[in-house]
Amino acid sequence: MTSRLRIRSLFFSWVVFAAALHAASSLRAPIEAVVFAAEPGKLFLPVDEAVAELKWSIKRDPKGKIVELNSWEVREGTLRTLVDGTSLVNTEQLAQAGAAVSTPNVEGSVKVGHFIHGFTLVVSPQYVEINLAKQQLQAWQGDRLVLKTRISSGRKGGTPAGEFRAGPFRAIMHRSKLYHNAPMPWSVQLNGNIFIHGFTSVPNYPASHGCIRVPLNEGNPAKFFYEWVINGTPVSVKKE
């Protein structure tokens, strides 16, 4: 075989190999992004998931905080976290750290990295379920559980069961017009005068006048929920 034929053969072999890699990458399941009402247009995912897909290095300080991502210095307080402490990174930050990030397509999905080490982020709908029997709130982004927290609902059946949607009213600090101007931080309207909001006292039993109390400590799920949930997100309140 002449050198020219060898070069041509190697070239076509590389093309076939690259096409196979590209096809394999396109078959990988996309990753469901986390989106926040407080930061519209930004797509987040857990840092560890991004690092695993991109084959990046990551450095943490002795306390476990991420200080470097693919040689990019992570300034303290710049990464969002889930209530359980899971660190999140958004696509803008991944681009700063050196990843190729595409513009969103018509469905809002984004490609990160390249076809060998890369992934696709998709935006799945939000959904919230409140279980009055368990005194528990769970929130999902598609199949990804982003929040699980205890609550305290209305005593004597004061919290109505049913299918609702978050909003439209919300406020970082709302005050009750019915109950002595009581503070209701991180308030998201559920139905009329019924709100999901933070409160200092959240016992493990129904104790409110009807609102759904969420803790302000334990990672502050009240603030997380307020910043995460988008107006119009379905909220299912179940008795059991």
> Domain spanning 126-238: which CATH class is it, in words?
mainly beta
Q: What is the pLDDT of residue 66?
A: 96
* Domain chopping of the chain, boundaries: 28-122, 126-238
Mean pLDDT, the chain, whole residue set: 90
pLDDT score of 16? 43
Residue ranges for the chain with pLDDT beneath 70 = 1-27, 177-181
Give the pLDDT confidence score for residue 75 in this predicted structure: 93
SS (H, E, C) the chain: CCHHHHHHHHHHHHHHHHHHHHHHHHHCCCEECECCCCCCCCCEEEHHHHHHHHCCCEEECCCCCEEEECCEECCCCCCCECCCCCEEEEHHHHHHCCCCECCCCCCCCEEEECCCCEEEEECCCEEEEEECCCCEEEEEECCEEEEEEECECEHHHCCCCEEEECCCCEEEEEECCCCCCCEEEEEEEEECCEEEEEECCCCCCCCECCCEEEECCCCCHHHHHHHHCCCCCEEEEECC
Query: Which pLDDT value is given to residue 19?
Result: 45
